[in-house]
Chain A
Amino acid sequence: MSELARFHDDLYARMRAQPSINWKLLFGITGSMTLLLLALVIYVFATGIGVFGTNIPAGWAFPIINFVYWIGIGHAGTFISAILFLLEQHNWRNPINRLTETMTIFAVIQAALFPVMHLGRPWFGYWLFPYPDLMGTWPQVKSALPWDAAAVTTYFTVSVLFWYLGMIPDLASVRDHAKSRARRIAFGIMAMGWRGSAKQWRHWRVSYLMLAAIATPLVVSVHSVVSSDFAIGITPGWHTTLQPPYFVAGAIFSGFAMVLVLAIPTRFFFRLEHVITDRVLDNCAKLMLITGWVVAYGYLMDDFGAYYGGEAAERTLDFVYHPASSIFWITMFCNVVVPQMFWSRRMRRNRKVLFIGSMAVLVGMWGERFMIIVEGLLRDHMPSAWGSYTPTLVDIGILAGTFGFFSFLYLLFVRFFPFIPVSEIKEERK
């Protein structure tokens, strides 16, 4: 047996192995959370979005925070698979690119739930897309929301295409070496007749490159467009040209945190330390440090802009004395203080520290979204309309439910699919 065959068989054996964790329990927990999400979504649809804590002035709160948050999580996946591909960082990109692309898709699915669910009349959500109707009316494309619809649809579609195209050779490999007939048929269909011919590789390689070239500006544009939901508004704290880069950096920041949160246990339980090496994690941590600093610069510029712009409402929007100032302090701690430990190589190589630090960043970035979206609304131009916001159990349940659903999908994927891009790693080994 050739060395390549041994390597190949070993990787697939590890991916197919029963991981050293109570798999059924994990499925049970995340599956129940998914059911909770489903039940709550039905409840919201049946009752009305008054079951959320949103109000006037806080017309957008948990659902939109979660939307922005989950979209942001997705960004690291595309960043790793597309941008690092173009930059030819294959050696640390390849081991985690499938995982992170998958994370992107599942995160965007969570995100996509919210713009529909938060609508007053969700059953008319399709009105944001141009379709010929009897009233002769069309989407109003000067609003940022159709931009959002276009960007998120594009992002999801292109991410799925990119992910799927990249996975075809490995799907064919599973097909060819599957033990059961059902698995062979299922993967046979999914692999779509991939035989690894030079012609297929030729077209595949160009297409993959093209998709990477499209995904790269796309990933930058998506969160820029999402940020314009706020930047085109005149609400204090929203109305600033700072938003697009600030959002993109924050998205990649939180995305890398999620990558680490997923990759560390995955490599541990599937014993893939030799593939997803310490160096891979180290590089992720470095990128977190960099984007963390961009985000911190964003906080600084936000305050400077408010001060320098001189507008009363912007100046009054003081996070420190805001009713929700605790969120501000949590955000500052998690997003600015915690990442500083990644200056140290020892910390970057300590998987526990990495994991906890990444969790903190995930919390902090959620807090940042809260800060941006809600706190400006609560301290709008009209002081008489200043209000407060408290999330309901439904809000919290749905947020928890999306984490459950996300994890559930992720577990399903790693259980049944080749989550390490074996063919690309084989190519790189050579």
Chain B
Amino acid sequence: MSGITRRDLLELMAGGIAALQAGCLEQAGDREIVPYVVDPPEQRPGVPVRYTGLLARDGFAAGVLVDSNDGRPTKLDGNPLHPATLGGSLPWMQAAILDLYDPQRLRDARLAGDVTTWSALAARLRALPRGPLWLVLPPQTSPTAAALLARIGARRELHVVYHAPLDHRAAYRGAALVYGRPLEAQPDVARADVLVALDADVLAGMPMSAAWARTFAGRRAPDRRMSRLWACEPMPTPTGTLADERVALRAREVVAVATCALVRLGELGLGVPALQRDAIAAASKRLDPGVLAWARALAEDLADHRGAGAVFAGDRQPPIVHALGRWLDAACGNAAPSEPATIDPLGGQTLDDLIEAAGRDRTPAIVVIDANPVATSPHPLALTEALARAPLSLHATRYRDETTAACHALVPLAHELETWSDGRAWTGALAIGQPAIRPRFDIASTLDVLAALAGEPRSARDLVRAQLPDDAHWRDALRTGIVRDSDAPRVTAEPRWTAECDTALARALAPASEEAIEIALAPSLLHDGRHAANAWLQELPHPITKQTWGNAALLGPATAARLGVGNEDVLHVASAVGAVDLPALIVTGAAEGSITLELGYGRRTPEQPIADGVGADAFVLRDDDRRILAGTATPAGGSARIIRTQHETDEQGRGLAPHATLGEFLANPRGLAAHLRGDQPSLLPQISEAGTQWGMSIDTSLCTGCSACMVACQAENNIPSVGPADVANGRHMNWIRIDRWLTSDGAVINEPMPCQHCEHAPCEYVCPVNATVHGADGLNEQIYNRCVGTRFCSNNCPYKVRRFNWFAYEKTDSASLQYNPDVTVRSRGVMEKCTYCVQRIRRAEHAALVEDRAIRAGEVVTACQAACPTTAIVFGDLHEQGTRFAAMRRDPRRFSALFELGTRPRTQYLAKVTNPRSKP
């Protein structure tokens, strides 16, 4: 229970009780509304209640805390007790709250186009005639779902398709190659001195990324304990950005790196399998000498830190890379794997099986839950036909999408915050998801649909409840958001190297045609397209390219030159089965000979105007579940606009990106950024520093650029999305942005840029109407109702962090239910900007006043700080002593952005220090 305060606990307890009540609510109907005579104890007007909750993506659960204002959940943050988040979050988790109120959501159950009710459809499902039933749903970790599936299977012929277009199956297959069964790797990031990411976005793109990023950050202080991250990847990722040793490598060469590293471990005397000579030769031939040396150095580093390493392989990589990764870990005695959290990880049928079955005369009933297989399957037309031909095809979905068009019956699917659920994290830890709001429509959850199919009369809540032995466990699980001691047991399994491995390795190392260009498919901020209706994620700048509202063909400069394209020139990328036209975008640090296409764009869903037709669909390139393809790329002629929020990545000598290696830093700690801190001389009087003086410190060593802070800020501060046209015209509204600097010596620095709250603020003295003034606590305050909108402040802000309401951007539809009631919704024509979450400061001040005490150190946590998975952002009082913030204010790495202007910003940065092995 450490890390959770008494206050949090009380809130959580209250949440549990409230949630129990919420679960029992009846259907809505005509009823009188009367005010509370006596407020329920957990409902204090103006004081948000905090519940635990559960989000899940492809089965893997992420525990969250839900802030609810007067019955409306308004904000999500990672649950510090949940092993998949540890309190941090990722953009999609932060953005999930917007989906809850999405006006595009499917509202009514429908049968053959007519409005019906879920209960009527449930009755039909219960009375489904005998015959085969095909279920298409995402991979499951829910024990309740597992039990229900088993019962359905006992009643009838059941075929389950666990459909996840970006699935985790290769890792299980790889583990199965090594251990004989699909185990889950359980790296111990906290203990890891050496981390190896084999085309794996460890810090931002995996189910455990929020938690791993946080533990990883704990080992990144620039001292002798600093860990070292090795990464090889075809396209820069947040992980690659923080890597100490990174090589850009085509995705299909990663297997060679893993092979050579394993061979080197063997040379160093570690217990590794005897690989076939041909394979070893082929692997070293596939790599450039530099990369080969890099792979061998990686192995040496792992060997030097035996038992304190962690090897990650990306889901995109074939099973053999995962197998090699398991072997690297096993050879070094790193953390042992565990039983997988996913139910039946290698089982189930495929969509092709479904199509084939539908083509046979046995006509099956098809139920699709929480999946959009028509948009993501390699054979959408055949699948559409199968769905249309089936006597019953039911789609439980939150949106009308490509699949709904082909289905007879539609059920509005519950949002995770509207329903009871359970699910396991990657570690196997079980958590219970409770509803935080009564559903606004007639909806059903995955468990509801499965229960109806199983003929189960109990409610989802009772089914989930039945997973726990007694009420004490149940209450504890609801309070803390996690079921104690439910981690999957570690398995002490001996790795093997079988002939099957040799075959797979030989196949993976087989030389590829030199003409073909590699096409690497990657998840986007919209993942596989499921978040495409979420305006926050559509408008969130890509962590690397800063592109919004669309995708592009990402490629390296030499490849672009070879193909004869520049930025925004349309490229025709074709695989064996399909082709897509996308504008080219040149990315520094990308592997040459490889084109990365991000998935989830190019949706064809007129009912979701936000998603429809944004970008281009790269799913059409695949024929099966492979994500590394070979194909061709030719200029298609013409150009297409790429909407980006940052165009210039060279800091132009403005002192924005100081950095050093660990060796350089330790040799001269004070020398790093010494010229960028202190107070510039000024004629102006010293401002009073009495009382609380707020400030922020941001460690650029820790920022991955994942952008969770940006979405968190958007959720907390009622920041509108403005749409592609306005973003293209520099009118995006994010209060905090992440600048990405590429220095001439190859360093990459992510610099989150909120308002700097300058002591000598250039914005303040130019406002003609006192709409931006300096507070006694050091805040640069923006007074919206005083602002007339001259925009002089923005012109004079050297950091360009001010945002202007060019139109009436505020939401008036159901999405406005998400608004934080403590934050003014800005009207048309006023300037706005980061306030350091002043509403949170004031709340803490009120609490301190009521309790007659001073504000405690660390009591105010800004939204960006709370969301940051790596704890790069720290907020506090300049007078604090003994806290991490106080240490950061004295850190020798500290510097002020645009120091030479003498603005004396309250937001300070810590220079980036990396720990490369090659340059100590």
Contact = CB atoms under 8 A, between A and B. Distances in A.
Contact of B789 (A47, A119, A135, A316): A119
A35 to B, nearest CB: 25
Contacts of B800: 56-57, 380, 382, 384-385
A305 interface: no
B901 interface: yes
Interface residues of A, number: 52
Nearest to B765: A142
A137 B753 CA distance: 31
Nearest to A50: B806
B807 A127 contact: no
A312 B900 CA distance: 10
B768 A47 contact: no
B768 A121 contact: no
A381 B768 contact: no
Give the one of A58, A60, A121 with max B CB within 10 A. Answer: A121
Interface stretch (A206-214, A217-225, A228-236, A272-280): A228-236
A387 B790 contact: no
A interface majority secondary structure:
loop
B531 to A, nearest CB: 26
B841 interface: no
Contacts of B770: 137-140
A390 to B, nearest CB: 8
Given A119-B829, A143-B767, A383-B650, A59 B794 contact: yes
Contacts of A146: 768
Contact of A120 (B648, B787, B796): B787
B898 interface: yes
Contacts of B788: 119-122, 124-125, 127-128
A119 B768 CA distance: 12
A311 B900 contact: yes
Interface stretch (B16-24, B280-288, B623-631, B724-732): B724-732
A56 B6 CA distance: 44
Residue of B787, B795, B798, B808 most packed against chain A (CB within 10 A) = B795
A140 B767 contact: yes
A51 to B, nearest CB: 8
B766 A143 contact: yes
A384 to B, nearest CB: 4
Contacts of A298: none
Contact of B829 (A58, A121, A387): A121
B769 interface: yes
A56 B768 contact: no
A255 interface: no
A402 interface: no
Interface string A51-77: 001111111100000000000000000
Given A233-B762, A233-B795, A312-B654, A55 B789 contact: no
A48 B647 contact: no
A145 B791 CA distance: 11
A181 B766 CA distance: 54
A229 B767 CA distance: 11
A381 B654 contact: yes
A54 B768 CA distance: 20
A49 B648 contact: no
A313 interface: yes
A127 B731 CA distance: 26
B412 to A, nearest CB: 35
B473 interface: no
A149, A311, A313: which has the most chain B beta carbons within 10 Å?
A313
B843 interface: no
Nearest to A128: B768
A151 to B, nearest CB: 13
A143 B793 CA distance: 10
A383 B795 contact: no
Contact of A56 (B646, B653, B802, B830): B802
A145 B768 contact: yes
A120 B791 contact: yes
Given A145-B792, A386-B648, A50 B807 contact: yes
Contacts of A399: none
A4 B237 CA distance: 89
Interface string A358-390: 000000000000000000010011111111101
Interface string A11-33: 00000000000000000000000
Nearest to B799: A382
A411 interface: no
Contact of A232 (B766, B827, B830): B766
A91 B799 CA distance: 55
Contacts of B731: 50, 55-56
Interface string B889-906: 000000000101100000
Contact of A137 (B769, B792, B798, B830): B769
B830 to A, nearest CB: 6
B803 A56 contact: yes
B151 to A, nearest CB: 56
Given A48-B829, A384-B646, A234 B730 contact: no
Contacts of B646: 384-385
B846 interface: no
A139 B585 CA distance: 48
Contacts of B675: none
Contacts of B762: 233-234
A128 B799 CA distance: 26
Contacts of A140: 765, 767-770
Contacts of A125: 788
A383 B646 CA distance: 9
B831 interface: yes
Nearest to A147: B768
Contacts of A49: 789, 806, 829
Contacts of B792: 59-60, 143-145, 229, 233
A229 B901 CA distance: 19
A387 B795 contact: no
B791 A121 contact: no
Contacts of B791: 54, 59-60, 120
Contacts of B654: 312-313, 381-383
Nearest to A148: B768
B652 A383 contact: yes
B828 interface: yes
Given A127-B788, A128-B768, A58 B798 contact: no
B327 interface: no
A384 B762 CA distance: 19
A120 B829 contact: yes
A47 B807 contact: yes
A229 B768 CA distance: 11
A231 to B, nearest CB: 11
Nearest to A135: B786
Contacts of A145: 766, 768, 790, 792
A139 B786 CA distance: 11
Given A119-B790, A121-B830, A143-B792, A53 B729 contact: yes
Interface in A38-52: 47-50
A127 B831 CA distance: 16
Given A56-B803, A138-B770, 15 more contacts: A49-B789, A56-B802, A57-B795, A57-B800, A120-B804, A120-B805, A140-B765, A143-B766, A232-B765, A233-B766, A233-B792, A235-B796, A312-B900, A384-B740, A385-B800
For the complex of A and B, the 4 pairs showing the least CB-CB separation, nearest first, are A120-B789, A120-B829, A50-B806, A385-B800
9 contacts: A49-B789, A57-B730, A121-B827, A232-B766, A233-B792, A381-B654, A382-B656, A383-B648, A384-B648
Interface of A: 47-50, 53-60, 118-122, 124-125, 127-128, 135, 137-140, 142-146, 149, 229, 232-235, 311-313, 316, 377, 380-388, 390
Interface of B: 646-654, 656, 726, 729-731, 737, 739-741, 753, 762, 765-770, 786-792, 794-796, 798-800, 802-808, 827-831, 898, 900-901
